[in-house]
């Protein structure tokens, strides 16, 4: 019987290039460290930049190029900060032209041996924004007519989940899927602004009804939260914000601003 070779996936988020001058060098060092781990795939869950400017996007692309030029695919989704320069739609095309995969309800597939890994994702949004505004726009993020940002992303994620056919399947978000486990550390009164429970419910429902089950959800955004949680249906959830992962360092080890998932 042939032994399955596990996929080695590295996930990170919230590099916030431009927040401080040193953020780009931190991200470059992190990328070099991630590549030294010999990953099959690197995923970035958004807030790539802090202000969403072309300068920051270009700096990010140069770091991502360290991976793509070495044959390591980069999959990413935007975060809320990536919209603040009102150029995300152009930035998405810019990244894609450089061979970077951008998720927005589509599916990326990777084969290793006889097994296939697939990943879908959307940015997500905070439920309370819908209740209080309602959220029909956020910088250059605009909902469909008579809809909200959350509703639109749930629809796109529904499409992405329906397309999954992998032996291993993952979901990428920027916002929390409504799981309190990875929000612990944030102020509880703000939990509803960090995500929507409807995303966790949607993925749980998918797993109940599909043979192509999601094995984990990865997200960022909650920079003061915790690194692990679980949906009501039992799907592992990982908060991979660099600021969170910096806190969870084994004794006497240097911090790794990324999570390795072998599956």
Domain membership flag for residue 122 = yes
E strand residue ranges, the chain: 8-12, 41-44, 74-76, 101-102, 107-112, 115-121, 137-138, 141-142, 168-172, 214-219, 228-230, 236-239, 259-262
Report if residue 2 sits inside a domain.
no
Checking if the pLDDT of 179 tops 80, the result is: yes
Task: Tell me the pLDDT band of 247, cut-offs 50, 70 and 90.
Answer: confident
* pLDDT of residue 22 exceeding 60: yes
Q: What pLDDT does residue 147 have?
A: 86
Q: Confirm whether 18 is domain-assigned.
A: yes
The per-residue pLDDT for 131 is 57
Percent of the chain with pLDDT over 90: 84
pLDDT at residue 129 is higher than 60: no
The verdict on residue 206 lying in a domain is yes
Place 13 in a pLDDT band, splitting at 50, 70 and 90.
very high
- According to the model, what pLDDT value does residue 1 have? 41
Residue 107 falls inside a structural domain: yes
Within a domain: 3: no
Does the pLDDT of residue 134 top 70, yes or no?
no
25 inside domain: yes
Is the pLDDT at 255 greater than 50? The verdict is yes
Residue 37 belongs to domain spanning: 8-262
Instruction: State the maximum Cα–Cα separation within the chain, in Å, rounded to a whole number.
Output: 57
pLDDT of 137 > 90? The answer is: no
Give the mean pLDDT of the chain: 94
Distance (Å, rounded) from C-alpha 67 to C-alpha 113?
A: 21
Q: How far apart are CA 54 and CA 49, in angstroms?
A: 10
Task: Name the pTM for this structure.
Answer: 0.96
**What pLDDT is stored for residue 4 in this prediction?**
78
Instruction: Determine the pLDDT at residue 135.
Output: 74
Burial class (CB in 10 A: 0-12, 13-18, 19+), 147: middle
The pair of structure tokens assigned to 12 is 């990170």
What is the CATH number for 141? 3.60.21.10
Helix, strand and coil in the chain, % to nearest 5: 35, 25, 40
Q: Please tell me the least confidently modeled range out of 182-196, 211-225, 226-240, 243-257.
A: 243-257
How many structural domains are present in the chain? 1
Residue 142 CA, distance from chain mean position: 20
| DSSP annotation of 73 | -
């Amino acid at each position: 019987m042939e032994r399955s070779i596990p996929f080695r996936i590295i996930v990170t988020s919230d590099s916030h290039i431009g927040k401080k001058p040193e953020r780009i060098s931190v991200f470059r060092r992190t990328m070099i460290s991630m590549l030294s781990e010999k990953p099959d795939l690197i995923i970035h869950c958004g807030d790539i930049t802090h202000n969403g400017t072309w300068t920051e996007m270009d700096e990010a692309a140069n770091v991502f190029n360290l991976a793509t030029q070495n044959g390591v695919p980069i999959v990413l989704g935007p975060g809320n900060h990536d919209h603040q320069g009102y150029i995300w739609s152009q930035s998405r095309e810019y990244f894609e032209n450089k061979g970077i995969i951008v998720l927005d309800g589509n599916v990326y597939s990777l084969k290793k041996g006889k097994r296939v890994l697939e990943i879908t994702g959307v940015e997500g949004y905070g439920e309370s924004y819908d209740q209080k505004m309602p959220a029909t726009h956020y910088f250059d993020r605009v909902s469909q007519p008579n809809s909200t940002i959350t509703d639109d992303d749930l629809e796109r994620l529904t499409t992405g989940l329906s397309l999954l056919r992998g032996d291993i399947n993952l979901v990428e978000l920027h916002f929390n899927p409504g799981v309190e486990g990875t929000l612990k550390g944030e102020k509880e009164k703000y939990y509803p602004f960090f995500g929507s429970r409807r995303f966790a419910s949607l993925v749980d429902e998918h797993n109940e009804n599909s043979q192509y089950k999601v094995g984990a959800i990865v997200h960022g955004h909650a920079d003061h939260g915790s690194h692990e949680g679980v949906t009501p249906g039992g799907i592992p959830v990982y908060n991979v914000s660099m600021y969170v992962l910096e806190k969870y360092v084994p004794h006497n080890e240097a911090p790794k601003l990324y999570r390795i998932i072998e599956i």
